[in-house]
Amino acid sequence: MAWEDQVAFVTGASQGIGEACARILAAAGAKVVLASRNLERLEQLAKELQGARNDPSCAFALPLDVTSEDQIKEAFKKALDHFGRIDILVNNAGVTRDGLALGMKRRDWDEVIQTNLTATHLCIQQVLRGMMRRRYGRIINITSVVAFLGNAGQANYVASKAGIIGLTRAVAQEYASRSITVNAVAPGFIETAMTAALTPEAQEKLAARIPLGRLGQVLDVAHAVKFLASEEAGYITGQVLHVNGGLYM
């Protein structure tokens, strides 16, 4: 299927990896649904993508708080009403609420699991019927290298990202017969607003742990997402593509 015939729905699209994924899929020719809590930024991004493509119909911004099941259902309904289909789903929205396990507050545990894991499941549910009817779909879930390495002070985040891997493999098995592929991308340490808040010394220490000697860029992750969303990746499902500069081998 040509990129021009496809619609991609990207959660957490207002910044970082989600924004990069939206940009690279739009540049390939797909129509994109931009979803996050920051509608003002999404609308600005939509105008940029529309201008770059000279196509006012190529991007559609939607407010979405993925901790609300009702908002998830409403956002996907609006996207389907607008474009008529969703061929690619990129589950990128995520949060951290760090703290040592002994003192971790229940609300911090619940928020991270709800945002990172439960919302991924709920968003997948919204696209499966349409993908099953068309016997085609690409679902890409953003997990993390810490799902494999662990990370002190992030028991909730690590658990949520490890859960995404299990969810990815289970759904991949359930819907492979309908030509729906379900894969995950596991970024390592990527230059985002989160890592920008670290001191230069802390960033240097992070980079020193990485065999390639640098933090990754959001486009490194977005290119991996684009590949898994492509026709060329049609025989890949239930897999985790690591994008971490060799941090986890």
Active site residues: 157
Q: Hey, what's the torsion of the CAs at 233, 33, 218, 119, to 10 degrees?
A: -90
Q: Is-contact 22 92, C-beta < 8 A? A: no
- Alpha-carbon distance 157 to 98, whole Å? 8
- Alpha-carbon distance 172 to 140, whole Å? 11
Q: How many CB atoms lie within 10 A of CB 179?
A: 15
SS3 content of the chain, % helix, strand, coil (to 5): 55, 15, 30
Angle at 9 between CA 90 and CA 173, to 5 degrees: 50
